[in-house]
Amino acid sequence: MNALNRNKIRLLVSNRMPAATCAADFNGDGQVNVIDLLLLIGDWG
């Protein structure tokens, strides 16, 4: 595997992984999904 292919793979992986500091990722697992929505609803009001 040459350097160009490694850079392509690194770019693909980084594009698939959302930013860890995403404001909607309440439990910090790197994904914004129904679990984060339930945390939001649980803290509502």
Min separation Cβ 3 and Ca ion, Å: 34
CA 3 to mean position of chain CA atoms: 26
Q: How far apart are CA 27 and CA 34, in angstroms?
A: 11
Min separation Cβ 10 and Ca ion, Å: 23
Contacts of 22 (CB under 8 A, 6+ apart): 32
Chain residues in the site for Ca ion (CB under 5 A): 25, 27, 29, 31, 36
Min separation Cβ 41 and Ca ion, Å: 14
